[in-house]
Amino acid sequence: MQFEENAAALGKPLRALFTLALIVGAILAPIPFPFKVPAFAAVALLWVWVETRSLAPVGLKLPVSAGSTLLWAAAGTGGVIFVLGDVVNPVIEWVFSKGADHSGYGALKDNGPAAFKLWLYAMFSAAIAEEIVYRGFLLHQLSVLLQKGRAGEWIAILIGGIAFAVPHYSQGLVGVISVALVGFLFGWIFFRSGRNLWSLMLAHALVDTWGIYSLYRGW
């Protein structure tokens, strides 16, 4: 892929500074949920479009293979729900003797209206906007900044996963670790799928749907 070479000649120090500013803004800007991350996602898309006249670098290319998209979405969804959720997370909870703190989402058990409202917000702010910011935009910019090759991709995946986990600090240490692992998995899929962000948006939507439904049922 020539995404990095197609970017405008913005110096690496300035690119790093602007990228950091956008990510920090997406985390800390005093904009109410669920509008904060979508606002910075719009800025990120505008930046990439101005540089490259394309959204392919962030994974929003068209046309896209429906079969490949569904396959990678299934891999992401299954990896989070069954591998991380049923195998890895219980080990993390055993090590720290506690689970993630989901109280910040409010009282969702048997509260259909609250659960549905949170689901709508999650589709807008998380499944779409977070994937644009923390996978598409951040991993693309890190690809430009870091050395080419597999080593650079793994460093980008590591940084991207940590950046994705930081805004979830309200879930406690166990929650942050769990979210970081999701970020690592989704980052790996981003590169292995040829930057198919559509598949990650779908996977994120399915994972959040399952998570909110589980909170609603009290699981």
The answer to whether residue 9 scores a pLDDT higher than 60 is no
As a whole number of angstroms, the distance between CA 49 and CA 44 comes to 9
b/e 74-113 (16+ beta carbons within 10 angstroms → b): ebbbebbbeebbeeebeebeeeeeebbebeebeebeeeee
Write out pLDDT tens, residues 81-92.
999 999 999 999
Lowest mean pLDDT among 97-106, 156-165, 174-183, 207-216: 97-106
The predicted model scores a pTM of 0.94
Give residue 219's pLDDT band: very low, low, confident or very high (50, 70, 90). Answer: confident
Phi-psi region of 218 (alpha: psi -120 to 50; beta: other; left: phi over 0): left
pLDDT of residue 106: 76
Give residue 6's pLDDT band: very low, low, confident or very high (50, 70, 90). Answer: low
